[in-house]
Each structure stands twice: as C-alpha cells, then as structure tokens.
C-alpha cells in the first residue's frame, strides 16, 4: 500500500470509528458555518427532528453554551449546575441573592438547596467507599437538574446494604436518590472484527480509534480507551501496523491510552468518520453543555447521537472473572454504544468531547445490545472519558483542522 493510500485510510479508520454512541454532530462549526448534511440527517434520525429543527438546535446550543459560561461566573460559589431546557440555558444557584446576577447574563436562574461543591462533596463520600460498595450498585453521579446525587442499582436488587451506602452521601444534607436501572455496565471494547483498530497484532480484540494528538516535540499519538490497551502492535486495514501503546490509564480510575503512531506510514488527520463517505473536521475540545447533543463514531454501531445527562460519573464495570473496575470522571449520555465501539470519537459539532468507555447493555437473543437497539423503551445509558483529561495527563495537543 502506498503512503498516500495508507494516510487517507487512517484518516477514516482512526478518526472515524468511535466507541460510545453518538451520531451526527449537533453543534455549530467554529466560525458560524452550517453543520453538514450528514450531521443534520443523523440528528433528524436520532432525535426525530426536521432539517430546520436540527439547524435550530445547533444554533441554540452554541448560543446557550456561551451564556451559561457567563452565568456560572455570576453565580460564584453558589453555582449548583447548568443545563439546557428547550434550547435555553438554566443555571442553578444555592443562594437566592445571586439569582438576579445570573438572569442578567440571559440565563434562567433556579434557586436550589445544595451548591455544586456540596453535591460534589456528597459524591466524593461515595467515591471513598468504592471498595466496599454493594455489588448491586452500578454507578453514582451528581444530577444537576434535580440537585441531587443519584445512585443506580440493578433493577429489582435494592437491599439494606444499598440504603446504608446511600446514607453515607446523605449525611452532608444533600438529596440522594436511588434509581433502578436495566442492563449491565460493560466496557465496550475487545470483541469481534470490523473496520477498526486491532490490538496485539490483530489477535487481542477490536476497539475503535479516537482522536489525533501530538507531543510537545510534534510526535503523533492516537488517543483511545485505556481498557483497549494490550501488549504488541496495534493494527488496522488488513494488518497494517499503526504503532504500539506507550501510555495507558486503566484500573486506576481512568480509561484512556495513547498509541505512538509510525509517522513514516501514517499521517493522523483531524477528522471523525461519519460512515456515509464524509468526515467531520475537529476544531477544538470545548465541552458541550449538560443537555446538549453529542455524536459518536464507532466500529460497531457506527453513527449514533445522544444527549449529555451527567458529568463526573463513577461507574463500576464488571469483568469476566467476577471482579469490578471502577472508573471516575466519566460523562453519561444516551447514544447507542456496543462492544467494539470502545475508544472511539465523541464529538459535538466540531468540538471533540471524549473517548467511548462503556454502556449498559442488554442480552437480546444471546447478543449484548444497547438499550435503545434492544427496543426496551428506554434511552440508552453510555459513558465517555473526557478528552481534555487525557490530553492534560499525557501533555498532548489535540490535532485540529
């Protein structure tokens, strides 16, 4: 294969196959350009919108994100969270005296009981008890719209041990809710073949490529999920070598890794594959707002879209040997994600969001499927690892176009 051919293919394989779900990119491109037709089509499909409604949502979310940033500063220490409702920013404050300052920025102010700092403190109390958490507890996170900490429990399995675990967070005076959930939390990599990246020279399973980055000296790196990291070469496109893992964070509360890419064979492109012959160019890594749309590219479910539901989520992933691995700091959203999608790109418009980490999957005729594709009548529950944390940890710079 010629270098030119290999370079073009990697731009698709590496920056296209994302891992946790999200479809057409919903946010407006930098500079006010319009979203591509493929993005709008994906949003129409996954959100049930018309083309004009999809365009309007993109514009609303871009405008709302800017307002929310100003409103957060106005809320000061009373800040309790922000999210979108009908395309408009809502900012919660724990001190009614700060409400007028928030409204002056153009956001709706909502007075609540606990500040975000208090909610984070309650969640941190649960994080300190991770090793002794009951088996039926699957995850916990701060839910800003309800001003509470949510603890998820496998459906029908709530026990007195669950209530004792929850009581620890409630000691701070914050509201703690228990939600029963369906499906099992699974890290979504290391499975069947497809158009993706393969570990261990092609014998250690399949994952999806995430984003292109570079070191301070300009060396190329591919960022993907930490649980995809295996010894040996990483390959793609009929066993063509990409490189090897040089950094891995997994089983340490994180889920990201970096592959040193062979620069003589590959040129990493700042693109995410839309699975329709087109790509989205990555312009930056500004975080999407709570309630905003995020889209993913992955080697199993390809393009799927979802809405951001929570940040800084702690998730317990079950392992084949019966043990669990705890990952903290994940973002929860509703896109369909399945095994093999791990490590793939999650993007909001042209802004990189993160790397697919896992999802709650349901057994459907012997196959683990996302909740949406299982037609269970529920939104899917998926998680991605925020990209900015990985970039900071490895002192990398995102490759943008």
* Catalytic residue of the set 227, 350, 372, 382: 227
Does 148 participate in catalysis according to the annotation?
no
Does 342 participate in catalysis according to the annotation?
yes
Please give the Cα distance from 120 to 216 (Å, whole number).
33
Please give the Cα distance from 157 to 164 (Å, whole number).
14
Residue pointed to by tokens 């946790």: 20
Cα angle 189, 287, 175; round to 5 = 85
Please give the Cα distance from 254 to 385 (Å, whole number).
8
Does 131 participate in catalysis according to the annotation?
no
Residues in the chain: 401
Nearest alpha-carbon partner for 388 in 352, 356, 346: 352
Q: Are strands 255-261 and 220-224 parallel, antiparallel or unpaired?
A: antiparallel
Query: Phi, psi (5° rounding) for residue 260?
Result: -75, 115
Query: Phi, psi (5° rounding) for residue 29?
Result: -65, 155
* Catalytic residue of the set 46, 255, 341, 350: 255
Residue pointed to by tokens 């930490």: 226
* Catalytic residue of the set 342, 345, 357, 380: 342
Nearest alpha-carbon partner for 390 in 249, 244, 185, 262: 249
Structure tokens at 200: 């261990």
Find out whether 349 and 62 touch, Cβ atoms under 8 Å: yes
Helix/strand/coil percentages in the chain, nearest 5: 25, 35, 35
Please give the Cα distance from 197 to 202 (Å, whole number).
8
Residue pointed to by tokens 């079950």: 318
Strand partners, 88: 85
Find out whether 108 and 91 touch, Cβ atoms under 8 Å: yes
Find out whether 81 and 90 touch, Cβ atoms under 8 Å: no
| Active-site residue set | 227, 255, 342
């Amino acid at each position: 294969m010629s270098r030119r051919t290999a370079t073009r293919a990697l731009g698709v394989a590496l920056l296209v196959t994302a891992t946790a779900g999200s479809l057409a990119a919903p946010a407006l491109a930098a500079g006010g350009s319009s979203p591509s037709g493929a993005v709008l089509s994906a949003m129409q499909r996954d959100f049930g919108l018309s083309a004009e409604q999809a365009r309007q949502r993109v514009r609303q979310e871009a405008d709302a994100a800017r307002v929310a940033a100003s409103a957060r500063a106005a809320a000061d220490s009373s800040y309790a969270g922000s999210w979108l409702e009908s395309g408009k920013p809502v900012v919660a404050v724990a001190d009614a005296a700060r409400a007028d300052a928030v409204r002056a920025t153009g956001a709706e102010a909502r007075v609540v009981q606990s500040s975000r700092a208090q909610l984070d403190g309650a969640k941190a109390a649960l994080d300190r008890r991770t090793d002794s958490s009951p088996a039926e507890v699957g995850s916990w996170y701060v839910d800003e719209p309800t001003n509470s900490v949510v603890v998820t429990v496998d459906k029908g399995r709530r026990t007195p041990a669950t209530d004792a675990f929850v009581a620890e967070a409630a000691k701070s005076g914050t509201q703690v809710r228990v939600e029963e959930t369906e499906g099992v939390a699974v890290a979504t990599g290391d499975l069947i073949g497809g158009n993706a990246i393969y570990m261990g020279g092609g014998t250690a399973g399949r994952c999806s490529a995430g984003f292109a980055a570079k070191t301070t000296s300009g060396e190329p790196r591919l960022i993907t999920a930490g649980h995809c990291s295996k010894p040996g070469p990483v390959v793609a496109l009929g066993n063509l070598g990409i490189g090897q893992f040089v950094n891995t964070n997994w089983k340490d509360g994180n889920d990201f890794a970096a592959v040193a890419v062979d620069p003589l064979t590959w040129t990493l492109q700042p693109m995410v594959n839309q699975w329709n012959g087109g790509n989205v160019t990555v312009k930056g890594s500004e975080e999407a707002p709570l309630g905003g749309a995020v889209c993913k590219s992955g080697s199993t479910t390809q393009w799927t879209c979802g809405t951001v539901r929570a940040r800084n989520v702690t998730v317990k992933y079950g392992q084949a040997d019966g043990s669990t691995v705890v990952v903290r700091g994940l973002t929860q959203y509703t896109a369909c994600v399945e095994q093999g999608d791990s490590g793939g790109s999650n993007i909001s418009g042209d802004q990189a969001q993160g790397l697919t980490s896992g999802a709650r999957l349901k057994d459907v005729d012997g196959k683990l499927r996302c909740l949406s594709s299982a037609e269970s009548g529920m939104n899917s529950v998926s998680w991605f690892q925020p990209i900015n944390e990985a970039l900071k940890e490895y002192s990398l710079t995102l490759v943008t176009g």
